[in-house]
Amino acid sequence: MHDLSGLGEEIINNVVSTLVLEKIRSWLKDDPKPLKRMPIKDFMDGVSKKGWDPENLDLLSFMAKLRQSALDGEVTLWGKPYKQTNLLGCNQYEPLIQIPQEEWEHLPLDALHLYYVKDNTETLIPSKDYLGEKYQDIYIDGKALKWLKKGKH
């Protein structure tokens, strides 16, 4: 008889490794099956990988066009409802919720809260009057990379 005790664990490890590699290949090759969502920080960092120079890009115009695309339903964004607290990471276990398309008529996007941050957990979408924050830890639809590539900017 053969010892099969570790076979199940080995199969699971191989399956997980294969899935991770497929996602990485998808990201690198612009596979037609994009990631469902990605951190907005990664998207903004990826702007330069798509041939844009973020330092010379008119970020205000870019953000306005991204916001319009969210309002038009071309891209989707998710975030965690902002909870005011001094404890960093206090809502790390909160679920991401899809930001309703109709909210983009009033919600602003700005580079200070999305591009000039160190970590995605610091990304914010302010309230429409800029007096507070509405969402934090922002994610964007993986198809936004195709939006960027198509020149809808």
The residue range of the domain holding 6 is 1-33
Q: How far apart are CA 128 and CA 86, in angstroms?
A: 22
Q: How many folded domains does the chain comprise? A: 2
Query: 149 or 80, which is more confident?
Result: 80
Are 25 and 95 within one domain? no
Residue-level pLDDT at 152: 45
Per the model's pLDDT, the better-predicted residue between 153 and 59 turns out to be 59
By the 8 A CB rule, do 108 and 126 touch? Answer: yes
User: At residue 40, what is the residue type?
Assistant: I
Q: Are residues 22 and 55 in the same domain?
A: no
**Residue 89: pLDDT band with limits 50, 70, 90:** low
Q: Over 80: is that where the pLDDT of 107 sits? A: yes
The string of pLDDT tens digits covering residues 11-41 is: 776 666 666 666 666 655 554 555 688 998 8
Verify that 129 and 70 share a domain, yes or no. Answer: yes
Q: How far apart (Å, rounded) are the C-alpha atoms in residues 30 and 49?
A: 12
Average pLDDT over residues 88-93: 68
